Structure formats: C-alpha cells, structure tokens
Chain A
C-alpha cells in the first residue's frame, strides 16, 4: 500500500465465530486501507454474511478483534458502529417501506446532524434535512423518485436508495453486501462506475458475486471458503491462484 505507512481503516484480527459445530468464521484476518476497494468473495455458505454481521455489530465474535479507525469494536452494537462511521448496505434491501425515498434518506441526514431527541420542529419543513437528503438522492440519480414510497420503488431503485442512505451518513468506510444482486447488466455497469468514484470518499469492503464487477473494481480480493480466508491478493494474483481456481472460480476462468 504505497511507501508511506498508513493505518488501516478497518482491521480484523483472528476472528472466530461458531454456531454449534459449524465454524462460520475460522481465524479470519482482514484489513481495509484508505482509498481502496477490498472485495470479499466466496461460494455460498462460505461465511461472508456471518463475517459482515460481525463487522456491522449484529453479531459479536467468539474470539478475535475488530478495530475500526483504531478503536476496538468489542461490545458495540449496530447503531454505535454506524455513528462511528460505518456505512452499510444490505444484501436484501432494508428500508422503511412506508416512508418516501426522501424520508428514508432524511432519517440518515437527521442521525448525522445532531440528536433525534427533538420533539417539536416538523421534519418536512426542515430545509437542511430535505436539501441534504435531496443531494444524496441526486448523487444516485434517484431525485425524480424522491416522493415515491420505498415500497413502490423497483428492486434496482431500492438498491440505489440504500446507497444514498449510506452516503448521507458520510461514512469513514463502506460495507456493501452484494450491491449488484438482481441489478441486471445495465444497472450493474452503472453501479460499477459509481462505486469506482466512491472509493475516494471512503474505502469499500465489497461482498459481491458479480465477478466482472469485482475484477473491474477491486484493488485487493480476499477469498473466503468454509469460514477461512484462503487467499488475499491483487486481481491478477487471485485469478492465477490455483487454490482459488479449484475452490471457487472453476475451470472457465482464464
């Protein structure tokens, strides 16, 4: 990572998590440096979701540590980590479905700009909240759909909305769980271009099945198989790694 020593934004060391006899996370170490996209790939059931949930704060690891911006995350929950600057999107969109797209983003702007324990001023007359949210919707090209309830948005639009919400948090790192899932080729291409620019705002830990997107975006790739990281390296290193080819990529990758 360059010749100047830079501290990682996110540093995971010797993480273990078991469910009964199943070792979902088995001695995983992983880091994320400023400005990079680190892709996490692996077959279904490799433990990607379990790992993501330990980073986000849904699960606490059995053993090992997660440091974010140099701070130990042990014992901190989802909301605490979000406040510290972890911007997350979900594999299956998780939105306030009755709220409009705008109001979903306003929730994030409100969380970022001071207390939610304000009881009197109406949010729909709060210009700072509305403008802040509109700006984020514009960034993901959703400004024309601002007043549509999230429940009525298309699948792809919901994914864009999730990213707009994450953007509004002005995070120090993005944790994106399969943002391309179900996007279609055109949507994936646009999102790939967008994520490429996003890395300059904050580094991205990207879990993704779409290999075209991963190979186009990733600075580094880690491969997770049966809860273990079997390889970490550049795109070329991972493509050439025989273990990875047999375990995951299959024969057709050249």
Chain B
C-alpha cells in the first residue's frame, strides 16, 4: 500500500507541474513554453490512448499514428470546409464543415473509432509480432492514401487558417488552448482509471495475462480486446484533433510510422500501464527535443539512450523507477 500511495503522490506532482509551468511561462513573458506544455499535454493524451491498449491490454499496436492522423484530418477537413464555405457533401443531404471544437472532437473520435473497429477486427485475430506488423501495415496504408489524395493537400498537408472555436473561450490565447488540452487529458486519464478497476478492466487485464483463462470462464477475449482497441483509438484520435488545432496544420507525417513509434516511446518511457506514464514520457520527449534539438538534429540519439536505460534497468518506466512496481488488488 505504501508503494501505491507513493505513485499517487507522484501523480499529483506531475499534474501540478504540468499545470503550473505554462502560468510561470506567461508570468516570465515566455509564451513559447506554453506551446511546449500544450504539446506535452496533446502527446500525453495520444499516449494515454495507446497505454490503454498496450499497458492494460498488452496489445502492442504499432499503428496508432493512423488514429492520431485520422483525428487530425477530421479536424483539418471539417475546418477547411467551414472556412471555404464549401459543404462536405451536398447529396443526399447537405453536410457543412464546422469550426466548433466540440463537434470536431466528436467527429475525430467517431472516425478514429470506426477505423479501429475495422483494423482491430482483422488485426486482433493475430498476436505478438504479427499484430505489431499488421497494425503497422494498416497505418501505412492510410499514410500513403493521405499522401496521394490531392483533395486535402496530399503530401503538402492541409492548413487551418484560424484556430477552431470553443464556446465562451478565446482559443487563440495560448493559455486557454493549453487549459482545454490539459482538461481533456485529465478527463481521459480519469476515464482510464475508472475503466481499469471496472469489470471490463478486470477482464481486459486478465486477457493480457492469460487469455486462455479468460475464455475458460466464458468471456470472449476477442470482444474485450476489440472494445479496448476502439476506445484506445478514440482517445488517440481526439489527441490528433487537438494536435491539428495546436499547429493549425495537418500533414501525412501525423500518420507515418515515426508518429506510431513516438507515441509508443511516450508510453514506454513513462511506464507501460501506469496511469500517468504517458504524461511523463511525453514531457521528457519534449524536454529533450527542446533542449538538444537546438544543438543537433541528432537529438533523438540522447532520447534513444534514455529509452535504452529505461528498458534495461527500469521496466516500469520512470514512474516505476520512482514509485516501485505496480500491484493488483
């Protein structure tokens, strides 16, 4: 129990740090750091999505960039149609674009969820290396499709000229947009913490440990995993929509396997299956990128070394290193 409380305390520190840093930055008149903190929150959210599948479900998806990118394109496409006053489609009924974040989020979540339903339906019949490869293959298919589809910028990507709107909030103010991203991050972490302890979470964690055991009590591991994969993709898709808004730009690189790898790095660095692992992982990633990225374009080398150290010496990631091993009730 002591260890558990230690992780709770650590989580509290992480939350406060992430929340306070942008305000300090504003006070010091360094708005750039607000953007960095927002990137941390958005990447962390993408990682939180993957962590559900990877950490709780043991599903090593190497294709989460697909959902991140689809969420981003959902945002970009809806916004570009709204800004150009062109309907998305005119028959059988007219469907217009929108610059309302709330609607865009729903669209991003639905699109990535549907994609995950389809991808998961096929890929979850495999496991291990095959699962990694088939999720990668699906994501690459979507990547090449985005590159070769000229309607939304193809290889050049798609710009969103004005940041989308949120009722009652000036989203152009960086701190406001940060708070929106931070709020969604906390909400999704809360959702996962509830999910983890529910009946569904119980079955999911059993599926990771031993799916024969789960089937023998009469629960279909496939159904549990597919549901997990869809929810996981929805969260990562939501992060993608926020990322599009943060950069006011969407490009196929969001869909590339680099992005899948990065999302996975957030999870592994922070601690696979740890609630706040992706936040720490994304934080460290951005820290390295901003510290060493200015010095050398090979800054990933340093991150690689840290990743190596984590994998070799701290299997529970940085959270596990500080708070000890995770325990189940």
Q: Which residues of A contact B (CB under 8 A)?
A: 56, 77-80, 82-83, 88, 90, 94-100, 103-104, 106-108, 110-112, 115-124, 126, 147, 149, 165, 168-169
Contact = CB atoms under 8 A, between A and B. Distances in A.
B328 A111 contact: no
B210 A120 contact: no
Interface stretch (B84-92, B165-173, B196-204, B281-289): B196-204
Given A94-B210, A107-B213, 17 more contacts: A82-B218, A83-B218, A88-B216, A98-B209, A99-B209, A103-B202, A104-B213, A107-B214, A110-B202, A111-B219, A112-B217, A112-B218, A116-B200, A116-B202, A116-B219, A124-B197, A169-B217
Contacts of A98: 205, 209, 328
Contact of A79 (B201, B202, B205, B221): B221
B298 interface: no
B294 interface: no
Interface of A, secondary structure class, is: mixed
Nearest to B191: A119
B18 interface: no
A121 B197 CA distance: 8
A110 B212 CA distance: 16
Interface centre among A96, A97, A106, A124 (most CB of B within 10 A): A96
Nearest to B197: A122
Nearest to A106: B202
B21 interface: no
Report whether over half of chain B's contact residues are helix, strand or loop; otherwise say mixed. helix
Nearest to A175: B216
A120 to B, nearest CB: 6
Contact of A116 (B195, B203, B212, B216): B203
Contacts of A115: 199
Interface of B: 194-195, 197-203, 205-206, 209-210, 212-221, 224, 227, 328-329
A120 B218 contact: no
A118 B210 contact: no
Nearest to B195: A119
Contacts of A169: 217-218
A79 B329 contact: no
Given A98-B328, A103-B328, A122 B217 contact: no
Nearest to A166: B216
Given A99-B328, A123-B197, A116 B224 contact: yes
B218 A118 contact: no
A99 B198 contact: no
Q: Select the residue from B203, B205, B214, B218 with max chain A CB neighbours within 10 A.
A: B218
B202 A123 contact: yes
Contacts of B329: 100, 103, 124, 147
Contacts of B205: 96, 98-99
Nearest to A110: B199
Contact of B220 (A79, A97, A99, A112): A79
Contact of A111 (B210, B212, B217): B217
10 contacts: A79-B218, A79-B221, A82-B218, A96-B210, A104-B213, A108-B217, A119-B194, A121-B199, A122-B194, A123-B198
Contact of B199 (A96, A123, A165): A123
A171 to B, nearest CB: 10
A77 B215 contact: yes
B198 to A, nearest CB: 5
B4 to A, nearest CB: 12
Contacts of A111: 203, 217-219
Contacts of B216: 56, 78-79, 82, 88, 90, 94, 165
A96 B203 CA distance: 10
A1 to B, nearest CB: 29
Contacts of B218: 79-80, 82-83, 111-112, 169
Contact of A117 (B200, B213, B221): B200
A97 to B, nearest CB: 6
A165 B217 contact: yes
A79 B215 contact: yes
B193 to A, nearest CB: 10
A106 B329 CA distance: 11
A98 B213 CA distance: 13
Contacts of A88: 216
A82 B215 contact: yes
Given A96-B206, A96-B213, A79 B219 contact: yes
Contacts of B202: 103, 106-107, 110, 116, 123
A120 B209 contact: no
A117 B221 CA distance: 12
Contact of A94 (B197, B213, B224, B328): B213
Contacts of A78: 212, 215-216
Contacts of B197: 122-124
Contacts of B214: 79, 96, 107
A169 B213 CA distance: 13
A48 to B, nearest CB: 18
Contact of A119 (B198, B209, B219): B198
A147 B328 CA distance: 10
A83 B216 CA distance: 9
A90 B210 CA distance: 13
Contacts of B206: 96, 99, 107
A94 B210 CA distance: 7
